[in-house]
């Protein structure tokens, strides 16, 4: 059965959110109503935050940096994505439109030169290209994507962003050979997207959809642990706020022998409660709802 599409918050989701976060429920609803500013990431492989700020100012677009990440710029005023997409610096891949929350996983994973990194479910490639830029183009990144259309989009973005040394793999990550071992793995898992809901927009949710996502997340995290080298780091993230897709999947990893590492977020980022070592960002005026957990074996 296809997930139900509606413009209002479906009853089943309301109940789940109320139960999971009784005290934060009104704040989550406020977050769903918020009209967040456009945010973008500077592609440091091609330019600098100062140059982008100056170029945007010449087009009458103001920006301010996020305090915790100098490559993240928050557009001030009423400018929307469309206007940014028409700019030459966007077409040249000098910037990438990306939510602040979704910039967190690569920052926490700290990709280094020479590290062998797997981005397990990579399209459209926002985090792959960020990992590449953060490593100065010096990490050995494999970006895996199963869906054909989304894989094409990934390839297009890698090309546009100049991430030439990324190995793009059109494959189901569940079929990768366990003999491959990676120093770091990003599993930005497919999920219900309940962190990114916008009231007034279409909302896609059903119990069956949630159960399907959870089953896939369980399989993917098990596979990620088998592909991780001993002492390596796995970062699991979703743009969901539902504990079933988050802490419950982290527990599933721990039952398979993974040890959780603490996720430390900048103090200014609003949080929902989660297991002590993980982090769940609360949807709000600046941030989408988002979950992060880190492991080693």
Q: Which amino acids are annotated catalytic? A: 239
Q: Minimum CB separation from ligand SAM for residue 29, in Å?
A: 23
Site for ligand SAM, residues 27 to 86, rule: CB under 6 A: none
Among the candidate windows 5-13, 146-154, 159-167, 206-214, which touches ligand SAM by CB under 6 A?
146-154
147 binds ligand SAM (CB under 6 A): yes
141 binds ligand SAM (CB under 6 A): no
Q: Minimum CB separation from ligand SAM for residue 147, in Å?
A: 4
Site for ligand SAM, residues 223 to 242, rule: CB under 6 A: none
- Applying CB under 6 A, among 183, 188, 247, 288 the residue interacting with ligand SAM is 188
146 binds ligand SAM (CB under 6 A): yes
Shortest-Cβ-distance residue relative to ligand SAM: 121
- How many angstroms separate the CA atoms of 206 and 134, rounded? 37
Q: Per the structure block, which two tokens stand in for 292?
A: 């992060």
Alpha-helix residue ranges (DSSP H) falling in the chain: 11-20, 25-33, 49-58, 81-85, 88-91, 104-109, 126-134, 148-160, 207-227, 247-255
113 binds ligand SAM (CB under 6 A): no
Nearer to ligand SAM by Cβ, of 238 and 260: the residue is: 238
Asked if residue 92 lies in contact with residue 47, where contact means CB atoms within 8 angstroms, the answer is: no
163 binds ligand SAM (CB under 6 A): no
Quick check: helix, strand or coil at residue 209?
helix
Q: Per the structure block, which two tokens stand in for 153?
A: 């989009």
Asked if residue 167 lies in contact with residue 202, where contact means CB atoms within 8 angstroms, the answer is: no
180 binds ligand SAM (CB under 6 A): no
- Applying CB under 6 A, among 100, 123, 221, 249 the residue interacting with ligand SAM is 123
Among the candidate windows 1-9, 76-84, 121-129, 283-291, which touches ligand SAM by CB under 6 A?
121-129
In 72-108, which positions are buried (b, 16+ CB within 10 angstroms) versus exposed (e)?
Answer: bbbbeeebeeeebeebebbeebbbbebbbbbbbbbbb
- How many angstroms separate the CA atoms of 253 and 172, rounded? 20
Measure Cα distances from 77 to 32, 35, 39, 74, 196 in Å: 20, 12, 12, 10, 21
Name the residues that contact ligand SAM, by CB under 6 A. Answer: 102, 121-127, 144-147, 150, 172-174, 188, 190
């Amino acid at each position: 059965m296809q997930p139900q599409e509606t413009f209002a918050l479906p009853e089943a989701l309301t109940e789940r959110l109320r139960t999971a976060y009784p005290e934060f429920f009104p704040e989550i609803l406020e977050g769903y109503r918020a009209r967040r500013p456009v945010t973008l990431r500077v592609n440091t492989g091609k330019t600098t935050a100062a140059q982008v700020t100056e170029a945007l100012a010449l087009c009458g677009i103001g920006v301010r940096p996020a305090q915790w990440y100098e490559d993240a710029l928050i557009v001030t005023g009423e400018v929307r994505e469309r206007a940014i997409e028409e700019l030459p610096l966007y077409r040249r891949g000098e910037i990438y439109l990306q939510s602040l929350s979704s910039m967190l996983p690569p920052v926490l994973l700290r990709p280094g030169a020479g590290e062998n990194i797997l981005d397990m479910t990579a399209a459209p490639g926002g985090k792959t290209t960020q990992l590449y830029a953060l490593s100065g183009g010096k990490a050995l990144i494999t970006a895996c994507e199963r869906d054909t259309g989304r894989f094409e989009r990934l390839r297009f973005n890698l090309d546009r962003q100049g991430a030439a040394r990324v190995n793009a793999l059109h494959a189901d990550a569940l079929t990768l050979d366990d003999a491959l071992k990676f120093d770091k793995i990003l599993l930005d898992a497919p999920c219900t997207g309940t962190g990114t809901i916008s009231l007034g927009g279409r909302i896609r949710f059903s119990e069956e959809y949630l159960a399907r996502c959870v089953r896939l997340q369980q399989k993917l995290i098990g596979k990620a642990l088998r592909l991780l080298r001993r002492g390596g780091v796995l970062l699991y993230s979703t743009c969901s706020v539902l504990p079933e897709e988050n802490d419950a999947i982290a527990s599933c990893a721990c039952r398979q022998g993974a040890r959780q590492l603490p996720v430390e977020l900048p103090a200014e980022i609003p949080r929902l409660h989660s297991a002590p070592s993980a982090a769940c960002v609360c949807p709000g005026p600046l941030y989408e709802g988002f979950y992060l957990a880190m492991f080693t074996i």
